[in-house]
Amino acid sequence: MEIQDLLTYGMGILLAAMGFILKQLWSDIRENKESAGKLKGKIELAEQKFDQNLDKAIHISSLKFMQLNEKLDTMCNNIKEDISKLSDDLKLMNRGIDRDENGRFTKRK
């Protein structure tokens, strides 16, 4: 064998090795692109679920706030009525009239 034959044989082996490496590299790149696409889809799905859950939580919080607000309004109205009754009773007491446990008025003796 001559040197030129050895060089040709060596170049063939080198090119075959480079071809193999490039083939493996290309395969890895393709797999990574597919994996990235799948992960992107999963991320988008997770974002959609998060947005839906956030919307539900906001809606539930709004309903609870409205319910609490209604209860607070009812309580405030009841307190106003109680204050009004107590004020009326105080005025009557100053005139010598009492209210019994049934809500009837009686003159004090």
Give the residue numbers spanning the domain of 81. 3-96
Q: Give the 3-state secondary structure of residue 2.
A: coil
Q: How far apart are CA 84 and CA 89, in angstroms?
A: 9
List beta partners, residue 105. 99
pTM of the predicted model as reported, rounded to 2 decimal places: 0.52
C-beta neighbour count of 98 within 10 angstroms: 13
In a domain, 105, yes or no: no
Amino acid at 82: D
Percent of the chain with pLDDT over 90: 68
Domain count, the chain: 1
Which DSSP letter does residue 105 get? E
Instruction: Give the pLDDT confidence of 15-65 residue by residue, as tens digits.
Output: 999 999 999 999 999 999 999 999 999 999 999 999 999 999 999 999 999
Whether 75 contacts 68, CB under 8 Å: no
> 65 versus 85: which is more confidently predicted?
65
